[in-house]
A and B are shown apart, each in its own frame.
Chain A
Amino acid sequence: MKSLALFPILLLCCAPLYAAGGEKSEALPPGAGIEKDPQYPQVVSYTLKNGLKLLILEKTFVPTVSFTMMFKVGNVDGQQGKTGLAHLFEHMAFKGTKTINSAGYDKEKVALEAVEKAAQALIAAETETSPDPKKTEELRGKLADEEKEADKLIVKDEYWKLYSTLGESGMNAMTSTDYTGYVVSLPSNRLEAWMIIESDRFKNAVLREFYRERSVVMEERRMGESDPNRLLWETLFSNAFVAHPYHNPTIGWMDDLTRLTRTDADKFFKTFYVPNNATLAIVGDVRPAEAIKLAEKYFGSWERRELPERNYTKEPPQKSEKIINVFFKAKPAMRIGFHNPGMANPDIYALLMASEVLSNGKTGRFYKNLVEGKELALYANSAHSTPGDRYPSLFVIAAAPKAPHTLEELDGAIMSEIDTLKKEPPTQWELDKILNNYQADMIKQLESNPGLGMSLAHNEGILGDWRYDWKTGAELSKVKPEDVSRAAAKYLTRDNRTVVFLREPLEQEQSGKP
């Protein structure tokens, strides 16, 4: 097969891309390894004694360097009743440390404890079966007073200001069901400054201004509630999963948010933000030996702690088709989810192929037959593993009809495309096209430092090997046309699917709404 021969295309890029940097001759410390297999980029791997994994790739065009600190902790790891905690903690990680954002931590600590006491009293009063409005108002006032006291000991936004001065780009963080990642790019002569600030951040985070940030997150949730797209996804996951925590939205249920406390977040931080749960990728104008030396110096004293076991309730097999109608003031759209067997199951590659056969480009079957052809759809896309990769998740389809066509017509046509795929294996041309695109993506992903950093850290931290994408390419090339049909027949079935239809509200219901 042609595509197999094409894989080594990756070799072409390696030599000039990674040979840069005059100081590279500096010897790597014992324990550090540089990737020698020419089918992969020359990533240097190193693990600190406390378990922090480093992945370093030297690339030079401009003097910049991109950092990704990836923690294997996501919304699945919040306990029952505490959904949204992983994400809220991510916001809190921008609030400083004992020395950053603080005008004196000894005094501030006392003030923060007073805030926490007031907040917990308020939450307790609000959670009563019939809350007393006078009492809650009083406690709300008390919390505001304590916050005002604590404010006096804060240096506002100092963490952000530091990074502004350093010249950051793309400073951000992201939380998913599976992971929490912290990213920033800096001019390359800020390497040591980054090491100093971030080691302090993850060793000594202080969760000040917690209840205000919780309000920010509630606004983020409301923003999502105003967006039909987010509403569709949330409805799909919460209906497709009934037992496994992929059921819960990463932003959290509003009711849980109202009861999360700083004590919860502190406990979460101490449990999961440990070096043996973290992967750090550094990509750009950086000397690996220097980065390792600095990481040892600043992150070496970060204390390793045992992680809790994380076997959550397995999702039982779905045995009936679920159809959900959501009424919302937006034009119709739909999402379908079929349970997949998880990333460790070899069928996943055939499912990935099935997804690509259906929706890769204008020659993909959905576009060719549903957008063109029958002209039913405005769009129709698919993906083989959503919302996460750590546990079995969903093969999803996202589509919207083009007026005057209806959701029912579109759903029928999508299912009929899937039936065709089950009966007629894809052509070799279709598979070769997909392999070509996969290989080209592997090359293009090397263009962006932050993008590549994210991919290395995610693949190592969550999927267990930074080479995951490249290895997947090799697995895909082994998938035969009949494997694709077989996987479609096995997983893309009616009793394994959940469908969410977003419909415009009916006129009479709309006017009667409170």
Chain B
Amino acid sequence: MTLLSAATLFALPPVLPRLDAVNFKPPAGDRVTLDNGMVVYLMKDATLPVVHITAFIKTGKMNDPVEKIGLGEMTAGLLKDGGTLKYKPEEIDKTLEFLAAQVESSIGNEEARADMTSLKKDLDTVLDIYAEVLMHPSFEEDKVKLKRDETLEMIRRRNDDPGREAVREAIRAFYGPAHPYGWRTEEATVNAVTIEDMKAYHQNYYKPNNIILAVAGDFGSNDEILAKLKARFGAWAKGEVKFPVIPPVSIKGARQVYFINKDIAQAFIVVLQKGVKRLDPVEYPLTVANEMLGGGLSSRLASEIRSRKGLAYTVYSYFAKKPDYGYIIGYCGTKPETYSQALSEMLKQFSVMAAEQAPAEEVTRAKDSLVNSFVFKFPTPFELITERASYEYYGYPGDYLDNYVENIAKVNPAEVLATAGKLFKPENSLIFVIGNSAKFDKPLTEFGPVTELKED
């Protein structure tokens, strides 16, 4: 495959040398399935005496029972910290930290992960612990209390950073606080989680046939590392995993304004619109459209709101794909006295993208930016093999990564316009603002019906 780097020399000062295409075909690595269904991606890399592993465990915060939101997070957080059948928590910490090794597990909305890093010389010891942590966590009571207290403290502190608060609460209002895409952990739901719940959760989701492993580094040959993995995970029995049914999302699709009054130096503004489902090929023109709209400091949002008008330091857009409808987000922080100018400009830029075909030169530049920087998706062999594993995890076709550049390069200005026209509907967007309304330059009601919320 030759990556198409369109020769946009006309945009460059005449003194620059001719730019050749970036020719890079990401190595495939190897993919093996163990007898118990565990998928293993491998890429040997002997440049440094280090081995990295990550596991994708198919679950996520959205699988929590509604009355126990936080169950997945506490389970993942305690896999290592709560000890295992074979190792006490203190023993794990002492061994790993003395060897400068890491074993950490975490959970996001749609994926749980367990990561391991070890120096080559300690691989056997660290791998023993890593496998135990994945297979046999014991959720010791005092560690459960500690994790629960920490989770409760984080809930108390969730509004300390108003920018993050704005994004989180906007998404919550967008999907509704009862939908798994929008909900957040609460004191009552965290308190409802029992050790038995965590054991049952682990029992259900942490199964070899529900895990994809990505391994890279100086691990000898594939046979050697596979033998090590089989010795530890081989006897782990496969089994059926029960997934809850996630209710379909329902998005109001009419302009609504949400507001939290807070006396802070900036107003934080979020604009949300209905996005796309994962695996929809519309992602290619949408990626190009977003790159033009809010993808970097020469994008339209940054150019107008930041560089030309000096209204903001932070302003951007992106889109999040989900199994059901994702979202398209615009974000900006500006002083309360100029919030309406910044917000009006954000809405206008979405509208212009949807109404007017962009100059071919701008579309080409956005594509060049995506195509020519594609190689940076894989700065290291571990990041490359993790990327490949993640595409399988999220259900993309096997050649997704290899065709990505061509699919971006094919996008033309008409498709960008058609996609923006279909998806950018700022008149139907949800607007969320946190800031000091006493200093606002215009009342929020000028942007639509306002619901004022109390920070909680």
Q: Which residues of A contact B (CB under 8 A)?
A: 9, 12-13, 16-17, 59, 61-64, 94, 99-100, 156-157, 160-162, 164-170, 185, 187, 189-190, 192-193, 196-197, 209, 211-217, 219-220, 222-223, 225-229, 329-331, 360-363, 371-372, 375, 378, 400, 402-403, 429, 432-433, 436-437, 439-441, 443-444, 446-449, 513
Which A residues are in CB contact (< 8 Å) with B297?
94, 157, 160
Which B residues are in CB contact (< 8 Å) with A214?
310
**In the bound complex, how far is the Cα of B306 from the Cα of A217, in angstroms?**
10
Cβ of B369 within 8 Å of any chain A Cβ, yes or no, is yes
Which A residues are in CB contact (< 8 Å) with B263?
329, 513
Which B residues are in CB contact (< 8 Å) with A330?
157, 159-160
**In the bound complex, how far is the Cα of B95 from the Cα of A429, in angstroms?**
11
**In the bound complex, how far is the Cα of B24 from the Cα of A189, in angstroms?**
12
Is the Cβ of A13 less than 8 Å from the Cβ of B47? yes
Pick from B169-177, B232-240, B249-257, B375-383 the stretch touching chain A: B375-383
Cβ of B149 within 8 Å of any chain A Cβ, yes or no, is yes
Is the Cβ of B156 less than 8 Å from the Cβ of A223? no
Cβ of B125 within 8 Å of any chain A Cβ, yes or no, is no
A363-B97 contact in complex given A165-B12, A214-B310, A226-B266, C-beta closer than 8 Å? yes
**In the bound complex, how far is the Cα of B114 from the Cα of A148, in angstroms?**
55
Q: Shortest CB–CB separation between residue A81 and chain B, in angstroms?
A: 22
Is the Cβ of A62 less than 8 Å from the Cβ of B375? yes
Please pick, from B19, B146, B149, B264, the residue contacting A166 in the complex, using a CB distance under 8 A: B19
Is the Cβ of A378 less than 8 Å from the Cβ of B150? yes
**In the bound complex, how far is the Cα of B383 from the Cα of A262, in angstroms?**
43
**In the bound complex, how far is the Cα of B25 from the Cα of A63, in angstroms?**
10
Cβ of B99 within 8 Å of any chain A Cβ, yes or no, is yes
Q: Which of B296, B366, B378 has the most CB of A within 10 A?
A: B296
A-B contact count, CB below 8 Å?
A: 210
Is the Cβ of B11 less than 8 Å from the Cβ of A360? no
Which A residues are in CB contact (< 8 Å) with B264?
225-226, 329
Is the Cβ of B22 less than 8 Å from the Cβ of A187? yes
Is the Cβ of B149 less than 8 Å from the Cβ of A375? yes
Is the Cβ of A61 less than 8 Å from the Cβ of B373? no
Please pick, from B22, B24, B94, the residue contacting A363 in the complex, using a CB distance under 8 A: B94
Q: Shortest CB–CB separation between residue B95 and chain A, in angstroms?
A: 10
Cβ of B333 within 8 Å of any chain A Cβ, yes or no, is yes
Please pick, from B146, B298, B380, the residue contacting A160 in the complex, using a CB distance under 8 A: B298
Is the Cβ of A164 less than 8 Å from the Cβ of B368? yes
Is the Cβ of A169 less than 8 Å from the Cβ of B373? yes
Other than the given A226-B266, A329-B264, 11 more pairs (CB < 8 A) read A61-B47, A62-B376, A62-B378, A193-B19, A219-B334, A223-B163, A226-B268, A330-B160, A362-B93, A375-B146, A429-B98
Please pick, from A197, A222, A402, the residue contacting B149 in the complex, using a CB distance under 8 A: A402
Which of chain A's residues has its CB closest to B9's CB?
A: A165
Is the Cβ of A219 less than 8 Å from the Cβ of B333? yes
Please pick, from A13, A100, A185, A441, the residue contacting B49 in the complex, using a CB distance under 8 A: A13
Closest 9 CB pairs of A and B: A167-B372, A215-B310, A440-B100, A160-B298, A169-B376, A212-B310, A225-B265, A220-B313, A164-B369
Is the Cβ of A443 less than 8 Å from the Cβ of B97? no
Q: Shortest CB–CB separation between residue B436 and chain A, in angstroms?
A: 10
Is the Cβ of B306 less than 8 Å from the Cβ of A331? no
Which A residues are in CB contact (< 8 Å) with B322?
none
Q: Shortest CB–CB separation between residue A54 and chain B, in angstroms?
A: 20
Interface CB pairs A-B, < 8 A, 7: A160-B297, A162-B13, A165-B369, A167-B375, A169-B376, A212-B309, A226-B162
Is the Cβ of B11 less than 8 Å from the Cβ of A161? yes
Q: Shortest CB–CB separation between residue A322 and chain B, in angstroms?
A: 24
Is the Cβ of B369 less than 8 Å from the Cβ of A209? no
Is the Cβ of B99 less than 8 Å from the Cβ of A228? no
Which B residues are in CB contact (< 8 Å) with A513?
263
Please pick, from B100, B161, B296, the residue contacting A437 in the complex, using a CB distance under 8 A: B100
**In the bound complex, how far is the Cα of B333 from the Cα of A225, in angstroms?**
12
**In the bound complex, how far is the Cα of B48 from the Cα of A228, in angstroms?**
40
Which A residues are in CB contact (< 8 Å) with B306?
216
**In the bound complex, how far is the Cα of B378 from the Cα of A16, in angstroms?**
19
Is the Cβ of B153 less than 8 Å from the Cβ of A360? no
In chain B, positions 13-69 with a C-beta closer than 8 Å to chain A are: 13, 15-17, 19-20, 22-24, 45-50
Please pick, from B20, B334, B371, the residue contacting A189 in the complex, using a CB distance under 8 A: B20
Is the Cβ of B163 less than 8 Å from the Cβ of A226? yes
Is the Cβ of B48 less than 8 Å from the Cβ of A446? yes
Is the Cβ of B49 less than 8 Å from the Cβ of A164? no
**In the bound complex, how far is the Cα of B164 from the Cα of A228, in angstroms?**
13
Is the Cβ of B381 less than 8 Å from the Cβ of A61? yes
Please pick, from A9, A190, A212, the residue contacting B308 in the complex, using a CB distance under 8 A: A212
Which A residues are in CB contact (< 8 Å) with B150?
378, 402
Cβ of B365 within 8 Å of any chain A Cβ, yes or no, is yes
Is the Cβ of A17 less than 8 Å from the Cβ of B47? yes
Is the Cβ of A62 less than 8 Å from the Cβ of B146? no
Is the Cβ of A331 less than 8 Å from the Cβ of B156? yes
Cβ of B307 within 8 Å of any chain A Cβ, yes or no, is yes
Interface of B (DSSP majority class): loop
**In the bound complex, how far is the Cα of B379 from the Cα of A185, in angstroms?**
10
Is the Cβ of A187 less than 8 Å from the Cβ of B94? no
Is the Cβ of B333 less than 8 Å from the Cβ of A329? no
Cβ of B335 within 8 Å of any chain A Cβ, yes or no, is yes
Is the Cβ of B97 less than 8 Å from the Cβ of A361? yes
Q: Shortest CB–CB separation between residue A380 and chain B, in angstroms?
A: 13
In chain B, positions 361-410 with a C-beta closer than 8 Å to chain A are: 365-366, 368-369, 371-376, 378-381
Is the Cβ of A223 less than 8 Å from the Cβ of B379? no
**In the bound complex, how far is the Cα of B380 from the Cα of A17, in angstroms?**
13
Is the Cβ of B381 less than 8 Å from the Cβ of A164? no
Which of chain B's residues has its CB closest to A18's CB?
A: B47
Please pick, from B13, B49, B156, B303, the residue contacting A9 in the complex, using a CB distance under 8 A: B49
Which of chain A's residues has its CB closest to B16's CB?
A: A193
**In the bound complex, how far is the Cα of B11 from the Cα of A192, in angstroms?**
17
**In the bound complex, how far is the Cα of B118 from the Cα of A437, in angstroms?**
11
Is the Cβ of A62 less than 8 Å from the Cβ of B97? no
Q: Which of B19, B296, B379 has the most CB of A within 10 A?
A: B379
Which A residues are in CB contact (< 8 Å) with B309?
212
Which A residues are in CB contact (< 8 Å) with B50?
443-444, 447
Which of chain B's residues has its CB closest to A361's CB?
A: B97
In chain B, positions 72-104 with a C-beta closer than 8 Å to chain A are: 93-94, 97-100
Binary flags per residue of B274-307, CB closer than 8 Å to A gives 1, else 0: 0000000000000000000000111000010011
Cβ of B314 within 8 Å of any chain A Cβ, yes or no, is yes
Q: Shortest CB–CB separation between residue B376 and chain A, in angstroms?
A: 4
Q: Shortest CB–CB separation between residue B303 and chain A, in angstroms?
A: 5
Please pick, from B16, B333, B373, the residue contacting A223 in the complex, using a CB distance under 8 A: B333
Which A residues are in CB contact (< 8 Å) with B94?
363
Is the Cβ of A196 less than 8 Å from the Cβ of B47? no
Cβ of B312 within 8 Å of any chain A Cβ, yes or no, is yes
Which of chain B's residues has its CB closest to A332's CB?
A: B157
Which A residues are in CB contact (< 8 Å) with B369?
164-165, 167-168
Is the Cβ of A219 less than 8 Å from the Cβ of B162? no
Which B residues are in CB contact (< 8 Å) with A403?
153, 156
**In the bound complex, how far is the Cα of B266 from the Cα of A220, in angstroms?**
9
Is the Cβ of B119 less than 8 Å from the Cβ of A443? yes
Which A residues are in CB contact (< 8 Å) with B366?
164
Q: Shortest CB–CB separation between residue A92 and chain B, in angstroms?
A: 12
Is the Cβ of B313 less than 8 Å from the Cβ of A219? yes
Which A residues are in CB contact (< 8 Å) with B162?
226-227
Is the Cβ of B48 less than 8 Å from the Cβ of A13? yes
Which B residues are in CB contact (< 8 Å) with A9?
49, 119
Is the Cβ of A164 less than 8 Å from the Cβ of B298? yes
**In the bound complex, how far is the Cα of B365 from the Cα of A440, in angstroms?**
41
A165-B368 contact in complex given A157-B303, A212-B308, A220-B313, C-beta closer than 8 Å? yes
